[in-house]
């Protein structure tokens, strides 16, 4: 059996899997839009961790994994900025960020 520690790929993949599962759980069980955004961020961070882990343990390591992780971080920041702007607009009109109560936008 392979060693399970900081010098093995399965340890990183397990942490990334747990992060991804926590993100899916947050999206599926929470009604608050902020909690759903946090779940999406967890899932994106899990993907970035996997990119870096696979790059670290590749036979010919290069900057591809780190570049992909940086791209994921940039996409996550843009997603968070747009989503928070939308949430502020929804909160301004409805005074609530509960996703169930804001299914239908009213004028």
Q: Where are the domains of the chain?
A: 9-94
pLDDT in tens, 16-46: 999 999 999 999 887 777 888 899 999 999 9
Q: What is the average pLDDT across 76-105?
A: 77
SS3 for 6-60 is CCCHHHHHHHHHHHHHHHHHHHHHCCEHHHHHHHHHHHHHHHHHHHHHHHHCCCC
pLDDT at residue 33, as a whole number: 79
Q: Which CATH class is domain 9-94?
A: mainly alpha
Residue reference for tokens 């882990």: 53
pLDDT at residue 47, as a whole number: 94
% of the chain exceeding 70 in pLDDT: 88
Confidence label for 100 from pLDDT (cuts 50, 70 and 90): low
pLDDT at residue 75, as a whole number: 92
Mean pLDDT of the residues in the chain: 84
């Amino acid at each position: 059996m392979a060693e399970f520690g900081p010098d093995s790929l399965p340890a990183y993949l397990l942490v990334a899997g747990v992060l991804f599962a926590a993100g899916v759980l947050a999206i599926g069980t929470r009604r608050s839009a902020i909690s759903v955004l946090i779940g999406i961020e967890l899932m994106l961070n899990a993907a970035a961790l996997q990119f870096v882990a696979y790059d670290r343990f590749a036979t010919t390591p290069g900057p591809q994994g780190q570049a992909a992780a940086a791209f994921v971080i940039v996409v996550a920041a843009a997603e968070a900025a747009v989503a928070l702007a939308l949430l502020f607009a929804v909160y301004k009109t409805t005074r609530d960020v509960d996703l169930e109560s804001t299914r239908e936008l009213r004028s």
